[in-house]
A and B are shown apart, each in its own frame.
Chain A
Amino acid sequence: MNFLIINFFLISILLLTTFYIFKTTSLISIVALTGIFTLVCAAIYVNLDAVDVAFTEAAVGSGISTILMVMAVAKLPEGKKNQLLNLFPSIVLSVSIVIVLMLIIANLPLLGDPNAPIHLHVTPEYIKESKSIFHIPNVVTNILASYRGFDTLGETIVIFTAGLGVIVLLTSNTLNRKTKFKKKVKKNEG
């Protein structure tokens, strides 16, 4: 019961934060609110027994992501007063997605039900073999590094590609639109 009350409280903080992100125009306060959002998410993960996910979220999602955003915002001008565009279609879209998701959630097993199909297959073996075969008490680390090692390898490739993309974008001057535009004009004249 306690678990549900804490969860409800944290999720209401999330909703409040999202509302203020929607309302604020100052970019730096949006970034700060995003940090609050991810930190509250880390608290929710602890409440849901996902300790490893919680400290990854606190370190990577709330730490590194916020630092990157602050670095980007430092180079940008202040945000303008937001005019909402596509207001009516987006409200219709959002409400219809909420209705569809609620219909689906009604068919899911209850929160914390130990006989849900997700708990009955592969995972019992993972938990059983973790101690006897791999001698690692932390099952999450065990799955991440040994059972699903290729998954983690793919993840590092994705991060490497993203890093390359960031370096190429930030160091290149060839993309400059104005010089390209002048060249185009010259070509048309000549």
Chain B
Amino acid sequence: MVSGLFIIITSQNYIKKIVGLAIFQTSVFVFFVSLAKIIDGTAPILNSINNVYSNPLPHVLILTAIVVGVATSALGLAIVLQIYKNYGSVEENEIKKEELKENS
């Protein structure tokens, strides 16, 4: 999880930052789902063989969150494309350089 945060802060490339955000999200999801696990339980689909089910509530929350996460990264990618159209680069340091040149 923290490695995702590390990638977000240290990398220059905006695509790589978005990938870091996705890693961050997914690892939080894995943590959430791991709270729902019961030892010897099965998937929460009712059947006549097994009576112990894992907790379905975190699964529902994470289902929602996965789809929202994809929407977020799609929006981020659209912003990156627009940045590339205007600055001709997706590297943070090059964009900063160009901004400085323009302001002076």
Contacts and interface: CB of A to CB of B under 8 A. Distances in A.
A186 interface: no
The contact size tier of chain A is 35 or more
A175 B9 CA distance: 27
The contact size tier of chain B is 35 or more
B84 to A, nearest CB: 6
A120 B47 CA distance: 21
Contact of B55 (A15, A75, A123, A144): A123
Given A53-B63, A97-B2, A68 B77 contact: yes
A85 B12 contact: yes
Contacts of B20: 21
A49 B43 contact: yes
What secondary structure prevails in chain A residues at the interface with B? Answer: helix
Interface in A52-92: 52-53, 56-57, 60-61, 64-65, 68-69, 72-73, 75-77, 79-80, 82-87, 89-91
Nearest to A127: B53
A90 B16 contact: no
Interface string B50-62: 0011111111101
A38 B82 contact: no
A50 B15 contact: no
Contacts of B66: 53, 56-57, 60-61
A30 B16 contact: yes
Given A61-B69, A80-B13, A162-B74, A37 B33 contact: no
11 contacts: A21-B23, A68-B74, A85-B12, A101-B2, A112-B39, A113-B39, A139-B44, A140-B44, A144-B60, A162-B72, A166-B75
Interface of B: 1-7, 9-13, 15-16, 18-20, 22-23, 26-27, 29-30, 33-39, 41-47, 52-60, 62-64, 66-75, 77-82, 84-87, 89-93, 102
